[in-house]
Amino acid sequence: MQVLVTDPIADAGLELLRVEGHTVETAYDLSHEELLGAIADASALVVRSGTEVTREVLEGAPELRIVGRAGIGVDNIDIEAATDNGVIVANAPEGNVRAAAEHTVAMTFATARSIPQAHARLQTGDWAKGEFLGTEVNDKTLGVIGFGRVGQEVAKRLGAVGMEIVTFDPYISEDRAEQLGAELVDDLETCLERADIITIHTPLTDETEQMIGADELALLEGGYVVNCARGGIVDETALAAAVADSTLEGAAVDVFAEEPVSPENPLLAVENVIVTPHLGASTAAAQKNVALSTAEQVLAAFAEEPVRNALNAPSVDESSFPAIEPYIDLADTAGEIAVQLFDRRVERVEITYAGDIADEDVDLVTASALKGVFVPLEWQVNAVNAPQVATQRGIEVTESKTHQAEDFQSLVTVTVANGDDSVSVCGTQFAGKDSRIVRIDGYRVDAVPYGHMLVAYNDDVPGVIGFIGSVLGDADINIAGMFNGRETIGGEALSVYNLDDPVPESVLDELESDERIVHTSHISLDNGE
């Protein structure tokens, strides 16, 4: 079969494909039009970040079976279009973990001891021994923001040289953090206040973009920032200013919001900011590992075997698929709603099946529920890798079945929990493909899970629903549907509103200022704008 490689990868990966009898064509720096011509007969496409794999490209490749991304980020690949065209998308997330962790450690020592600055001064003939008073990392506190694969490896290495480790990650369990010698804290602010040095290891998502700005950096007064994760997580202008005015002692940055970085970027003009051109994965071993991993997944796809790091290739017995298909998206959505209502660290996820669906193979539905729960964690989580993410983060997952389903043919319930606190969301299908949320935390509702939703816990007294409607109306937010549930007359009730627009924090604050409103949550689902 023909494999088209449009970005350079290590020769080891190319050679593996050739040894297995496949034709490998390398064509770098192609224009979009040239790519459309080159891919017409390809069975596999191997890329890094330089090739934009668009819907047009995918639709123009009728023989294409897999797109292999030699690295972790797949923002240059239209995964939805790949799925629509039956093309597997697979990345290589493990190959450069060690390299990224080691670069982070190197940058930590470099900024703490001003190594590049001292080197530059000495090269000019200036023996500035008395001008560089470094910081020892022993007995200092390292704040790890994001405790995934790379964050854990950094913690192991810097913990071994005597650093105390604290970490903030809403999707890691206390047990998992403790296993790695880290203390899990409940919020970003606490992590920043406790730390002498912070290192960032989160993906760039809507949630994490500009997560660390001037206010957050002020909490780290006298400390250091190391970012070898993704540009855009830290406000670059604020970071440059904080180092320049000595709020921070220094910073080390490997990634930028725009790459290649502009010469006008303020970080380049501050002496105590160390910069490198996105070198985190730039080791010979990492590049070889990534290339081999990608080639192995291409070979698996050609052999119609499971693709280990597939991002869009769920697998289920063909005979079971018609029965579970309507519940795949429903479970995903229920997970999304539950985790947004919970709004705290998740330690357990429970998925319960009741009624007819309890007789089916529901592994894919469970994985889809986990995907919904983990969507805020990292955007490439899907039904294929969500169970692995749960394992890596020490989150307990349980699945149970019962044939008792109240008045419904089938029910799927997703519960997220931490200690004794939990939120449960229960959904079903009407007429085959009409998804409904029918219970939230024991309250019976009949809500359409789509787009923007407002969930309000309130006292069951006259005037509350009218008040909520008035506040939303004053904010020019249109109500598309409303569903109310209560347990007892005059007790606490729960209302769910389908909305045409998102709900700003200011509107939520206004609603909660009324003593009849216990709590409100804005839910934003992936299936609507």
Tokens of 345: 């660290």
Which residue shows structure tokens 């060690």?
98
Tokens of 413: 């319930």
Under DSSP, is residue 10 helix (H, G, I), strand (E, B) or coil?
Answer: coil
Cβ-in-10-Å burial (0-12, 13-18, 19+) of 209 comes to middle
Nearest CA to 517 out of 450, 472, 452, 477 is that of 472
* Region of residue 434 (left: phi > 0; alpha: psi -120 to 50; beta: else): beta
From residue 398, how far is each of 93, 385, 417 by CA, in Å?
A: 26, 17, 11
Which residue shows structure tokens 């699945």?
399
Tokens of 120: 């530059």
Query: What residues contact 219, with CB distance under 8 A and at least 6 apart?
Result: 189, 192, 193
Residues designated catalytic? 230, 259, 278
Could you give the CA distance from residue 369 to residue 387 in angstroms, rounded to a whole number? 10
Quick check: 445 and 483 in contact, CB under 8 A? Answer: yes
Nearest CA to 260 out of 244, 276, 280 is that of 276
Is the preceding peptide bond at 260 cis, omega within 30 degrees of 0? Answer: yes
β 224-227/197-200 pair status: parallel
Look at the chain and count its residues: 529
Nearest CA to 362 out of 389, 330, 339, 336 is that of 330
* Region of residue 29 (left: phi > 0; alpha: psi -120 to 50; beta: else): left
